[in-house]
């Protein structure tokens, strides 16, 4: 039977990942609204600013680590290089103990370098999310308008339906300040301000 109660949350089970195809962001060049979007053909994320049309390079950096033994003398070589721009399959290291140079296969940990400091960013170019506003000690943020709408629906709901038990819906992992009933009115006002932000 269809539920006609508008205060019931009917957003359905969603995870945060279902909102990550598009990020509404602030263009770091002109400060206007821009987008980071997944190209459905290549699967790569692309930056688009409809105001200044300038490009943005991916800002992925890696921490390179080697923690292996020298094949000549057994000395343990430990190397950590932060902010490496490209992955390579091996690097040459000279053993400080026996002075022999050997090839080592490093491991990499990737992270995106934020363009701006402090705000919530998307994880591909490091640009700041457009839809974010301070809320007390917290920040209310959304990746895109669909995500914001989903939050609004959630906050508006007085009753919450249990979702399918084998799913972990996004709402169950929301921060406490969004779940708190006493914040409902001020949250809706903040969501409204974000919706209208130009």
Residues of the shown chain interacting with Zn ion in the complex, contacts defined by CB under 5 A: 27, 29-30, 49, 51-52, 70, 72-73, 75, 95, 97-98
Instruction: Give the integer Cα–Cα distance in Å for 145 and 41.
Output: 23
Nearer to Zn ion, 51 or 81 (CB): 51
In the complex, least distance from residue 77 CB atom to Zn ion, rounded to whole angstroms: 8
- From the list 4, 54, 45, 42, the residue with the least C-alpha distance to 22 is 45
Nearer to Zn ion, 10 or 94 (CB): 94
Nearer to Zn ion, 34 or 64 (CB): 34
- From the list 122, 124, 126, the residue with the least C-alpha distance to 113 is 126
In the complex, least distance from residue 127 CB atom to Zn ion, rounded to whole angstroms: 10
Nearer to Zn ion, 5 or 101 (CB): 101
Instruction: Give the integer Cα–Cα distance in Å for 22 and 148.
Output: 12
- From the list 106, 101, 77, 79, the residue with the least C-alpha distance to 90 is 106
Instruction: Give the integer Cα–Cα distance in Å for 143 and 25.
Output: 8
In the complex, least distance from residue 69 CB atom to Zn ion, rounded to whole angstroms: 8
Burial label for 36, CB within 10 Å (0-12, 13-18, 19+), is buried
In the complex, least distance from residue 63 CB atom to Zn ion, rounded to whole angstroms: 24
């Amino acid at each position: 039977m269809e539920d006609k109660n508008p205060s019931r949350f009917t957003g359905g089970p969603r995870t945060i990942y279902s909102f990550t195809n598009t990020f509404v962001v602030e263009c770091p060049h002109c400060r206007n609204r821009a987008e980071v979007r997944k190209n459905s053909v290549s699967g790569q994320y692309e930056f688009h600013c409809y105001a200044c049309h300038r490009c943005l390079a991916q800002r992925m950096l890696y921490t390179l680590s080697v923690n292996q033994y020298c094949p000549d003398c057994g000395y343990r070589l430990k190397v950590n290089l932060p902010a490496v721009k490209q992955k390579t399959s091996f690097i040459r290291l000279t053993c400080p103990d026996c002075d022999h140079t050997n090839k080592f296969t490093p491991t990499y940990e990737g992270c995106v370098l934020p363009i701006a400091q402090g705000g919530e960013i998307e994880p591909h170019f490091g640009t700041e999310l457009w839809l974010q506003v301070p809320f007390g000690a917290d920040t209310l943020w959304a990746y895109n308008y669909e995500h914001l709408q989903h939050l609004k629906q959630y906050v508006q709901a007085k009753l919450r339906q249990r979702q399918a038990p084998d799913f972990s819906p996004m709402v169950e992992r929301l921060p406490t300040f969004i779940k708190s009933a006493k914040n409902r009115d001020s949250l809706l006002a903040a969501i409204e301000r974000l919706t209208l932000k130009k």
